[in-house]
Amino acid sequence: MGKKVRSFERIFKSLGNPVRLHILKEISQEPICVSNIAKRLKISNPLTSHHIKILERENLVIRTKEGVYVRYVLNKEGFDALVVNFYKYLGIEMEIENIPKFLRTIKGIEDFLTKQPKLK
């Protein structure tokens, strides 16, 4: 397997975790700190930090510092690059400006993201 395939495998595995998808949804709404995400999802701060670290590693989340506070924001450019590069890998040309339209066509994504994650 090539380096690109392993990279996609790692990213999609990261996105395959429902808790991380819910964290991304929270982060996409507003810059937010770990403790607020943890409260909303009813999980511990260390577990939240663990999941965020994985999302940061995949370039999907950006850490911002505001004084003594650390907040996280969605890396929209990282998501755009993921979609464009995956389409290129499949041999399909996708322009960045078409991504929002494409994402709206994915049936069920909003329902999936609004359900509470099942925690083990």
Q: What domains can be seen in the chain, in order of their start residue?
A: 3-114 (1.10.10.10)
Beta strands in the chain, from DSSP E residues, in sequence order: 61-66, 69-74
Tokens representing residue 69 in the block: 């506070």
Given a cut of 60, whether residue 41 has pLDDT beyond it is: yes
Given a cut of 80, whether residue 115 has pLDDT beyond it is: no
The CA-atom distances, in angstroms, between 47 and each of 2, 25, 37, 116, 119 are 31, 17, 11, 16, 11
Beta strands in 35-103, from DSSP E residues, in sequence order: 61-66, 69-74
* Amino acid occupying residue 42: K
Tokens representing residue 115 in the block: 């359900």
Given a cut of 60, whether residue 31 has pLDDT beyond it is: yes
In this predicted model, what pLDDT tens digit does every residue of 67-110 receive, in sequence order? Answer: 888 999 999 888 888 888 888 888 877 666 666 666 665 555 55
The end-to-end CA distance of the chain, in Å, is 32
User: For residues 79 and 41, which has the higher predicted lDDT (pLDDT)?
Assistant: 41
Arithmetic mean of pLDDT over the chain: 83
Mean pLDDT of 46-63: 96
Tokens representing residue 99 in the block: 């991504």
- The structure tokens 């998501």 sit at 79
pTM, whole model, 2 decimals? 0.74
